């Protein structure tokens, strides 16, 4: 078994403040003995407009969140303490400069960025007489499913937030060898209250993988236009919720759970879904 930590906090447009919170969460994860810390989507900032997002997005190697948050946090951990791997969602500039990338980074304990996934499915919703949310106005979609990679808690498959509503992505990651799926998120309060836990447990049951969802929480701007649901969650391959953050406040916090691949192996052996799939009948293979 390996202990995983999941961080939850309220990001704003204040880059320096967000970086300091992330640094504190790295220290919390280390003190708990966690080998990996998972942080939410958009941990670097939540912007009030596409123009502000373009202004705030910086190359990761020079960004506030990376240099004064992640690198500083890892550097400050004593040599005799656990120095966690860090999974973190950030924004990065695009080559054209008209939109940003919504990416998920995997950072080694020495600060090396080993893996970078760009969000494929963007949250575009236009409800009659209701809210209009167009992530594509400011974000460039990714076009590639990345193969899972080895980590201290197992083979990790990367996805981000809205990606969880498309089960074919989770199934594809499982078919490529994933044992753990991550969906760092900034769910709206309304959709979170309706579907957050259901989606987390469904994807875990569909794929027989651990599902880890680090979430932003609280109100991100003074006007209260942008709010996130929180409820960061860790679910095992049987669909059991192992840990979930409370929603009583927006204090930065971590939750933890042991990731036990022997449990995953037993679930897959007892219910051998992957050997019983019928792409010959369904007409497709994920």
Let me know if 10 is a catalytic residue.
no
- The 10s digit of each residue's pLDDT in 209-221 is 999 999 999 998 8
> What local confidence, expressed as pLDDT, does residue 186 receive?
95
CB atoms within 10 A of CB 1: 11
Give percent of the chain above pLDDT 90.
84
> What local confidence, expressed as pLDDT, does residue 223 receive?
79
pLDDT above 60: residue 130: no
Contact 64, 71 (CB under 8 A): no
Model confidence at 250, in pLDDT bands (50, 70, 90)?
confident
* Mean of the per-residue pLDDT values of the chain: 94
**Residue tagged 């044992």 (tokens):** 179
- The 10s digit of each residue's pLDDT in 143-175 is 999 999 999 999 999 999 999 999 999 999 999
> What local confidence, expressed as pLDDT, does residue 131 receive?
56
Instruction: For the chain, give the number of residues.
Output: 286
- The 10s digit of each residue's pLDDT in 68-86 is 999 999 999 999 999 999 9
> What local confidence, expressed as pLDDT, does residue 132 receive?
65
Q: How far apart are alpha carbons 192 and 213 in whole angstroms?
A: 12
> What local confidence, expressed as pLDDT, does residue 116 receive?
97
- The 10s digit of each residue's pLDDT in 168-197 is 999 999 999 999 999 999 999 989 999 999
> What local confidence, expressed as pLDDT, does residue 283 receive?
84
- The 10s digit of each residue's pLDDT in 221-245 is 887 788 899 999 999 999 999 999 9
- Contacts for 118 with CB less than 8 Å, ≥ 6 apart: 101, 102, 103, 140, 141, 142, 143, 144
Q: What is the mean pLDDT of residues 136-145?
A: 94
Residues of the domain holding 37: 2-282
- The 10s digit of each residue's pLDDT in 3-16 is 999 999 999 999 99
If DSSP codes are grouped into helix, strand and coil, which group holds residue 120? coil
Active-site residue, selected from the candidate residues 28, 161, 179, 209: 161
- The 10s digit of each residue's pLDDT in 14-68 is 999 999 999 999 999 999 999 999 999 999 999 988 899 999 999 999 999 999 9
> What local confidence, expressed as pLDDT, does residue 117 receive?
98
What CATH number should be reported for the domain holding residue 125? 3.60.110.10
Number of domains in the chain: 1
**Residue tagged 């400050």 (tokens):** 76
> What local confidence, expressed as pLDDT, does residue 248 receive?
66
Active-site residue, selected from the candidate residues 92, 119, 135, 140: 119
Active-site residue, selected from the candidate residues 41, 92, 135, 179: 41
Model confidence at 129, in pLDDT bands (50, 70, 90)?
low
Q: How far apart are alpha carbons 3 and 257 in whole angstroms?
A: 6
Is the pTM for the entire model greater than 0.85? yes
Better-scored residue on pLDDT, 106 or 284: 106
Contact 277, 250 (CB under 8 A): no
- The 10s digit of each residue's pLDDT in 255-269 is 999 999 999 999 999
pLDDT above 90: residue 97: no
């Amino acid at each position: 078994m390996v202990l995983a930590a999941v961080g939850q906090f309220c990001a704003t447009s204040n880059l320096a403040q967000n970086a300091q919170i992330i640094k504190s969460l790295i220290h919390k994860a280390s003190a708990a003995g966690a080998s990996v810390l998972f942080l939410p989507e958009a941990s670097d900032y939540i912007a009030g407009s596409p123009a502000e997002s373009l202004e705030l997005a910086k190359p990761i190697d020079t960004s506030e969140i990376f240099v004064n948050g992640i690198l500083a946090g890892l550097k400050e951990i004593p040599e005799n303490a656990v120095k966690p791997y860090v999974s973190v969602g950030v924004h990065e500039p695009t080559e054209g400069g008209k939109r940003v990338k919504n990416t998920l980074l995997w950072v080694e304990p020495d600060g090396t960025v080993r893996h970078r996934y760009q969000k494929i499915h963007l949250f575009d919703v236009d409800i009659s007489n209701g809210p209009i949310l167009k992530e594509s106005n400011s974000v460039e979609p990714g076009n590639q499913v990345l193969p899972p990679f080895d980590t201290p808690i197992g083979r990790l498959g990367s996805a981000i937030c809205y990606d969880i509503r498309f089960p074919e992505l989770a199934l594809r990651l499982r078919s490529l060898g994933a044992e753990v799926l991550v969906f760092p998120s900034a769910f709206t309060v309304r959709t979170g209250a309706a579907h957050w836990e259901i989606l987390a447990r469904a994807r875990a049951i569909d794929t027989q993988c651990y599902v880890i969802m680090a979430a932003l929480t609280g109100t991100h701007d003074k006007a209260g236009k942008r709010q996130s649901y929180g409820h960061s969650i860790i679910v095992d391959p049987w669909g059991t919720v192992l840990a979930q953050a409370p929603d009583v406040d927006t204090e930065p916090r971590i939750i933890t759970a042991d990731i036990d691949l022997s449990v995953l192996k037993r679930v897959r052996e007892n219910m051998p879904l992957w050997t019983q799939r019928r792409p010959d009948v369904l007409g497709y293979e994920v």
